[in-house]
Amino acid sequence: MLAVSGPRVCAVTPLLMLLCVGTTMHAEDVKVREQAVQLLEIANAVSLPGALHSYKQAVTFRYYEPDGTAKAGTYTRYSAGAAGYREEITFGAFHSATVISGDKISDTRTDNELPEIRALRNEIPVHLARFDEKDTIRSIEETSVAGRAARCIHFDTQFGATHQVNQLCFDSSNGAIVLWIVGDERIESTDYFKVGALWEPGHIRRYENGVLRMEIEQQLEAIEGTVDPKVFAPPSSKWNQLFPCKNPRRAIALSTPMPPPGKAGTDIVDVVVHAWIWEDGSVKLPQIESSNRPDLNEEAMQTVLSWKFLPLMCNDRVATTTGDLVVHFQGR
């Protein structure tokens, strides 16, 4: 976790996605679950880039709107392990360049980070997972995916009254994940290549409700020896000091009123808003992160602007942070 000055920001980029917290469902075979957990652990071991000390990652991607139009972007990252990294992103009119070198950071960007960029981060270099203890493993099947031998885990997850039937598939030869079907999301990871001791997907497709939303091409190569010092030239005119957050306390909600209920029954529609929680506990710069009801988006953003928090505490100082805020619309 990092904290930077003016305003201070604490940010984390997870590589592991938590699978579904739910209530206990039906009994499962302990041995089958043990095998399923082992398959996931192997997938993490063969693909997490932490095993590479220094590497260069080059990504091109396309994000598809619901009407089928596409916008292209690029992402590059030079990593030198604990010494630091350089990351640049271009997507339409958006551009950012961030360099961390030792205990210093330099960051420039044309705008607040876009939802499409956050979605990209979730998929690269690979979309990995771990099971929640409440997920119910049904079976493990020997099959084929994209013409290659694979093992697929079939499991269920319960969200209140919503029941999901999910599937994760792994390449039988290298253990890497090749197919993720969880809820309405489908992620296909193909064209794996080897870099060092790792396997990474060269092509990734992400679907929502059967519609292609993002397509990614990536290359990853190990850097032998010392990374060129020019990589760490600051993109802005000055460096800022990093403040490692040794005793963080997350932001705590004080007042989060929901929109008034409608008259269309008791069903609830959730709209997820990504926003900043400022040092004074106010919410700023809201963006729609996910929504199946565009007609409710503006109301959702206005709603979170009224919320109040005890702000993030980092090293006994208040700090600014970002988060995903869920607005519930009942009967709308």
Q: Which of 212, 241, 270 is the last residue of a domain?
A: 241
197 pLDDT above the threshold of 60? yes
On whether residue 39 sits in a domain, the answer given is: yes
Do 204 and 300 lie in one domain? The reply is no
Please state, in angstroms and as integers, the Cα–Cα distance from residue 214 to each residue in 194, 197, 203, following that order.
Answer: 23, 27, 11
Q: Can you tell me the mean pLDDT for 259-265?
A: 88
Give the model confidence (pLDDT) of 117-148 as tens digits: 999 999 999 988 888 767 899 999 999 998 99
Do 35 and 123 lie in one domain? The reply is yes
Contacts of 142 (CB under 8 A, 6+ apart): 149, 150, 151, 172
Rounded Cα distance, 288 and 115, in Å: 7
Higher-confidence residue of 125 and 241: namely 125
On whether residue 54 sits in a domain, the answer given is: yes
On whether residue 163 sits in a domain, the answer given is: yes
Do 85 and 104 lie in one domain? The reply is yes
Strands 16-19 and 128-131: parallel
Higher-confidence residue of 260 and 22: namely 260
Give the closest residue to 279 by CA, choosing from 3, 31, 1, 2: 3
On whether residue 76 sits in a domain, the answer given is: yes
- Please report the pLDDT score of residue 60 as a whole number: 98
What's the number of domains the chain is made of?
Answer: 2
26 pLDDT above the threshold of 90? no
Do 48 and 83 lie in one domain? The reply is yes
Do 237 and 317 lie in one domain? The reply is no
Q: Which of 218, 241, 264 is the last residue of a domain?
A: 241
- Please report the pLDDT score of residue 168 as a whole number: 96
- Please report the pLDDT score of residue 130 as a whole number: 82
7 pLDDT above the threshold of 60? no
- Three-state DSSP at 321 gives strand
Do 326 and 223 lie in one domain? The reply is no
Do 220 and 269 lie in one domain? The reply is no
Do 149 and 226 lie in one domain? The reply is yes
CATH of the domain at 200: 2.50.20
Contact 285, 275 (CB under 8 A): yes
Highest averaged pLDDT of the listed ranges 99-108, 283-292, 298-307: 298-307
21 pLDDT above the threshold of 60? no
Do 10 and 132 lie in one domain? The reply is yes
Backbone torsions φ then ψ of 174, nearest 5 degrees: -120, -5
Backbone torsions φ then ψ of 71, nearest 5 degrees: -125, 130
Q: Which of 207, 241, 275 is the last residue of a domain?
A: 241
On whether residue 247 sits in a domain, the answer given is: no
DSSP annotation of 115 = H
pTM of the shown model: 0.79
- Please report the pLDDT score of residue 29 as a whole number: 87
On whether residue 246 sits in a domain, the answer given is: no
- Three-state DSSP at 47 gives helix
Do 292 and 156 lie in one domain? The reply is no
- Indicate the average pLDDT of the chain: 86
Domain that holds residue 303: 252-330
Do 219 and 269 lie in one domain? The reply is no
CATH of the domain at 319: 3.30.2420.10
- Please report the pLDDT score of residue 307 as a whole number: 97
On whether residue 59 sits in a domain, the answer given is: yes
2 pLDDT above the threshold of 80? no
pLDDT band at 9 (very low <50, low <70, confident <90, very high): very low
- Please report the pLDDT score of residue 82 as a whole number: 80
What percentage of residues in the chain have a pLDDT greater than 70? 91
- Please report the pLDDT score of residue 160 as a whole number: 64
Do 221 and 313 lie in one domain? The reply is no
On whether residue 130 sits in a domain, the answer given is: yes
Contact 243, 315 (CB under 8 A): yes
